[in-house]
Structure 1
């Protein structure tokens, strides 16, 4: 009991330090995380430990946590969650809270076939994306150069609930070591594709036609050529609050005479996001005997990439967009562009769960990829206490006040390649940024009529 309380308190204290340093209120953070204010209070007071690390990581990033702070926070969450599980078996310990911002995960992605992370975080390319042709995705221009710094690797959840206690202990140790090792890489995260950035916007309102991004994924866009990168942390304890200005409300548009940075937006994206953290289907061109057991959600990207899997029926994309510099940037509109439609894949469908769910319905934008012109439509979510309103555009962002968009795309009749487009304006300039999967479109294929398999620990993959 004492160990459980101590583990929860150490974790909660670290969350409180990050929250207090950010200058953001509980209400502001809860809105951006798509959770209720009371739930966020319970996390920061130690009354509850989130059942999934994804919401913790999003909270930390919204509060401006650096790479080393993310590693330390993940370590504390692992310990708090472990003792909470043990305490729950004995009737004590902090209450486990279902992740209300459940994007399934994450930090997020079919992701580019590049490896082990379920997110493909990256820089917002600035510039209008040309209309792609019907047979291929837009090509990256030669003049685009990669940027120099990237966010820290995203620590992940450490085990499936079905694992035994010895397996839990081994997973905890492995993930803590892995997180520390990733934080010591050269800044690319060691997991995603190379960083990329796009050309600057036009100097006139309505900007000149932009360019498509070069292949890439993780990174922080420099404010201007030669500007030094920012966002690094020097210790595992959150530093004292700096001189950051308070975030502006999403509905207010503040005039600013400061020059607009050459690349005013930074974005990150996750697209291997599962419903409620457990529900998702993948299409795989292999027989059941050649398909390994389902991964935990944070390992989904590496698992799917190794098998050449494609999202089956749905893809959930979570994009986080920030401004740079002192000039606010207004995200005016969200669009979906389908690059190519093919007949659905004739592969087998493998389900990552055998029935899961929760009381939370996340707020999101719903998209029907089968429509002639897919339109993202805001759809409010709910938990057991409150309605969780979906973000409405336009929305003003800054470095301290990011925008988190969750897009839930579905298809029945096609194997679709698609990406997001955001219209933005700042300082009299307007342009469009493309959000994709590390330079590639997202990919989703219908599963209707395909053989469906579920996994049982006692018998492996079994046809449903």
Structure 2
């Protein structure tokens, strides 16, 4: 199993909250470089976090994925930081609903993993030759939420629960309502206030 916590649904859709002024924040990274950029910037996913979960059996037996549960490890007031938008204004951005897409409303009293409209839900089966990829979009507006997932599985007489998190620490997603917003113009040399570029 691998979890990629900084996947982008679309280049223009991802925002991060950073406790630094624009002059101290490096330009937006490419998606593949996002984990290192997030770590170096002390960034927290803003409003939405898009996690890609890849699951594959390790032997000949089929593994049944019985369910995916959300656990919150903490809920606080949204972070009072600047909001930095990925992507570049004026460049077309698009995204579609991918197969095996799920959503999680982190503001809910009891967040749940909900399949996208018209898509199948648990259980699923995986094997060494037939992996599954899940796309999970978690959103928060009223809180700064630390969270992780628990995946229940069975294989023959064996069963268990896998914790899905960010390399041993919870994922973290914060609302960004009312926060100062910045964007990085294509061809520009620094961050500017959001909405000031044409």
SS at match of 1:341: strand
Aligned to 1:310: 44
2:190 aligned with 1:460, yes or no? yes
Larger Rg: 1
Question: Which of residues 58, 71, 92 in structure 2 aligns to 1:324?
Answer: 58
Cα distance in 2 between the residues matched to 1:311 and 1:323: 30
Q: Give the C-alpha shift of residue 462 in structure 1.
A: 1.2
Q: Supply the distance in 2 between the matched residues of 1:302 and 1:453 (Cα, whole angstroms).
A: 20
> Residue 367 of structure 1 corresponds to which residue in structure 2?
104
Q: CA separation in 2, counterparts of 1:320 and 1:297?
A: 17
Deviation at 1:446, TM superposition (A): 0.6
TM alignment of 1:427-438, pairs within 5 A: 427-438=156-167
Give the helix-richer structure, 1 or 2: 1
| 1:461 Cα deviation after fit | 1.2
Structure 2 residue runs of 5 or longer lacking an equivalent are none
Distance 1:343 1:367, change over 3 A: same
Give the TM-score of the pair, scaled to structure 1: 0.40
Q: For residues 423-461 of structure 1, what are the alpha-carbon distances to aligned partners after superposition, in whole Å with 9 as ceiling and x for unaligned?
A: 111113322111111011101111001101111133621
CA contact (8 A) 1:419 1:436 kept: yes
Count of residue correspondences: 190
1:417-428 → structure 2 map (5 Å cutoff): 417-428=146-157
Counterparts in 2 of 1:17-56, with a 5 A limit? none
What TM-score does the superposition give when structure 2 sets the normalisation length? 0.90
Indicate the SS of the match to 2:191: strand
1:358 is displaced (CA, Å) by: 2.2
Q: Does 1:280 align with 2:17?
A: no
How many Å apart are 1:359 and its aligned residue?
Answer: 6.0
Matches within 5 A, 1:106-145: none
Flag the 1:426–1:348 CA change in 2: closer, same or farther, 3 A: same
Residues in 1 aligned to 2:18 and 2:131: alpha-carbon distance in whole angstroms: 36
- Are the equivalent residues in 1 in contact too, given 2:9–2:95 (CA < 8 A)? no
Describe the SS at the equivalent of 2:184. strand
What's the CA shift for 1:337? 0.7
The 5 A counterparts of 1:215-254 are none
Q: Which of the two has greater strand per residue?
A: 2
**Contact 2:12–2:85 (CA under 8 A) maintained in structure 1:** no
RCO (CA 8 Å, sep 6+): is it higher in 1 or 2? 2
| Contact 1:283 1:447 survives alignment (8 Å) | yes
